[in-house]
Amino acid sequence: MNSQTPSGNVQLVVLDSVLFGTARALDYLNLEGQVMMDKIGEGILDYCFKKGFVEKSGDLHELVNRVGHFFAENGYLGGAKVGQEGELLAVTLMNWQYLGLMKRLRKEKHYLLACPLCLADNAVFRSNGLFGQVVYEELAPDGGFLRKYKVIPATTVSPPESLIPPKLTNLSPVKYDGAVKVGAPAVEAVMYGLARGFDYLGAQAQVLLNQVGRGIIEFLQAEAQLTLTGSLTRDFEVLSSFFKSKGLADEIRSTASPTSAALTFRNYLYEPVLRTLLEEGIPLTSCPFTLAAKALLRDAGWAVGESNWALLDGKGAQLNMRLTKIADQEFDEEKIGALMDKA
């Protein structure tokens, strides 16, 4: 499997910011958190099928190969080699764009797997009653990353045996490059998968998404040197300019009053995802800018109440939000845990 990086679309930092925020928000669930991440993988896979990005196959290995080709064609990796070593499945990924994000997550002691390619593969394996438990990993001198898996029986909600391989590889040689271009189809699939995965949690989903928004901002401050001023108006301008420059939209405008706020986008990368979610009756938003903007509002003491999307001409959209002054919500860990147990 080999592919060339696409020459446009969105920069990797946009995708990584929301994956970082998601992994961090779900980390407190420990092993069950990986089940939730794999639910996101189910959504990624479903979107790829719906949009014709990946052709379905009844053969597990062929479908995994097709998923790999899709992410390679969209610049997320350069190629992959798959082999069998006794009872272990050995996979080497070349030019794997997840390494920088994995380094950041592990630096902060977060071990949930957030690679979208891997989450989609996990969904394929789980749908076939299997799960690949990582038992070995190694960063090769040429930049390739080798992982060995023990394939074990599993259901769609079976937690892994562990989140951490027996020996973690040294990722210090990895240099983060958030300017790498990732194809729009792959970014769309991930954003849809995120909304589908969080929708699985029902009423608690928005509380978790608020935490994702905070994680997005912290990631951008750490990896992209995003500088906020503490002024809500100015910080919205900074955030808008940043996401425009990274390919999320050609134009992002925000307006606000003491009781409401509106975000307007033109030539919006997220528009096809939003359109699909609205058609399916899924009310959650997984757009990284919108999640980060809501986090800024909450940090300034405002909470977002009723929200309504309107699709506009020119691949545009507008989000209208009602604002209220309320105390911050907390995770209902018992309720989320119960949802996982019942799945």
- For the chain, the domains span 10-153, 205-324
pLDDT at 2: 39
| Tokens of residue 56, six digits | 């379905």
Strand partners, 310: 318
CA 158 to CA 150: how far, in whole Å? 15
Instruction: For residue 320, report the phi and psi dihedrals to the nearest 5 degrees.
Output: -105, 130
For position 327, what pLDDT does the model report? 57
Contact (CB, 8 A) for 157 and 131: no
- The sign of the torsion formed by the CA atoms of 175, 92, 89, 137 equals negative
Q: Residue 15 CB: number of other CB atoms within 10 A? A: 24
- Identical topology for domains 10-153 and 205-324: yes
Please say whether the structural domain 205-324 has been given the CATH code 3.10.450: no
Q: What is the pLDDT along the chain (343 residues), one digit of tens a residue?
A: 433 333 348 999 999 999 999 999 999 889 999 999 999 999 999 999 999 999 999 999 999 999 999 999 999 999 999 999 999 999 999 999 999 999 999 999 999 999 999 999 999 999 999 999 999 999 988 889 999 999 999 998 889 999 999 999 999 999 999 999 999 999 999 999 999 999 988 878 888 998 999 999 999 999 999 999 999 999 999 999 999 999 999 999 999 888 999 999 999 999 999 999 999 999 899 999 999 999 999 999 988 889 999 999 999 999 999 999 875 444 455 544 554 444 4
CA distance 287 to 341: 28
d(CA 291, CA 296): 9
| CATH 3.40.50.300 for the 10-153 domain, yes or no | no
Q: How far apart are CA 96 and CA 220, in angstroms?
A: 20
**Residue 156: what pLDDT?**
85
Q: Against a cut of 0.85, is the pTM above it? A: yes
First to last CA, the chain: 35
With CA atoms as reference, report the closest residue to 213 among 299, 323, 310, 318: 299
Is residue 53 within 8 A of residue 193, CB to CB? The reply is no
Tokens found for residue 232: 């809500």
Q: State pLDDT tens for residues 237-292.
A: 999 999 999 999 999 999 988 899 999 999 999 999 999 999 999 989 999 999 99
